[in-house]
Structure 1
């Protein structure tokens, strides 16, 4: 029995894969639980069109991410934080502060896509890793200055 998976199924395949399964497994488990649909000719045509549109959208998202990455080259952020005499910050600089600093410069980056290589707890220079797309990653240097 040939079916189209609507979601990832462990040890069987990923979403939008066309796989062969035993008829009982398909009829009694996969199709009733909404994990798959029967692979008819019309369903295969719809799947091909959906895949084509998804690829077009992914290419557009990737191009936008590459354009943003090109604009971010050479940008250095300054982030102010309250610090003691020894240069230790009260608290730590987090991804929200970096996202806000980028927003002030006109770059809309989700804070969940920003990571640091180490904790930012002292005044100094650091690097933020921005994951704009699964294939587009950028490193943005930033300075933490005492307020």
Structure 2
């Protein structure tokens, strides 16, 4: 199906372009969300008549998204979750959780604006990309930790999943003879 794009769509085209897309994509996504019109003569005339209004609305949305991006730039958000000793989360941090964390800080971001291919399943510092507008994209840092104290230590660059963090032992200081000394064996002891 051929459609006229009413706004920029990633990997598809710019506003005003006539593109050919699959019927289901047009019917289920582009047309219901108001991102495109069917490409027929009546809609082409309608688009040309409303072009300046659409461009102004797109510019306004982009400037609003840029303001939010400027506020989010360089921010780090702490997510506290239960995890095992190795740093593996008992659950995961998904797009819904990220939206909740951002909402608690006063940012109104939709779940579809969070670019997270797979849920976060380990503690640590994670970069998450937010698509605020087709032309505005920003990356924020999520600090996933077991507690606020661990999050602060992690933000300083300390690893929470090493033997030092878990057992209070410096991995580099350990030597094999610290575990077993054959000279301490008595007669009759077996290996």
Question: Where do 1:1-147 residues align within 5 Å?
Answer: 9=2, 14-15=3-4, 36-37=40-41, 44=45, 46-116=46-116, 119-147=119-147
Q: How far apart, CA to CA, are the structure 1 residues paired with 2:122 and 2:4? A: 45
Distance in structure 2 (CA, Å) of the matches to 1:99 and 1:53: 31
Shift of 1:112: 1.1
Unaligned runs of 5+ in 2: 6-15, 19-37, 148-191
1:38 and 1:139 map into 2 onto residues whose CA distance is: 41
Please report how far the alpha carbon of residue 15 of structure 1 lies from its aligned counterpart in structure 2 after TM superposition: 1.5
Aligned equivalents of 1:111, 1:60: Cα separation in 2: 21
Q: Is the 8 A contact 1:117 1:127 kept in 2?
A: no
- Higher RCO, Cα 8 Å, sep 6+: 1
Aligned partners of 1:86 and 1:58: how far apart in 2?
Answer: 47
User: Following the alignment from structure 1 to structure 2, what is the Cα–Cα distance between the partners of residues 126 and 116?
Assistant: 11
Q: Please say if residues 116 and 127 of structure 1, whose CA atoms lie closer than 8 Å, have aligned partners that are also in contact.
A: no
User: CA offsets, 1:16-42, max 9 Å, x none?
Assistant: 77x9xxxxxxxxxxxxxx852459xxx
TM-score by length of 2: 0.55
The alpha-carbon deviation at position 91 of structure 1 amounts to: 2.2
Cα distance change of structure 1 residues 47 and 117 upon mapping to structure 2, 3 Å threshold: closer
TM-score, length-normalised on structure 1?
0.70
Write the distance in 1 (CA, Å) between the matches of 2:39 and 2:143.
Answer: 49
CA distance in 2: counterparts of 1:146 and 1:124, whole angstroms = 10
| Bigger Rg over Cα | 2
Kept in 1, the 8 Å contact 2:131–2:138? The answer is yes
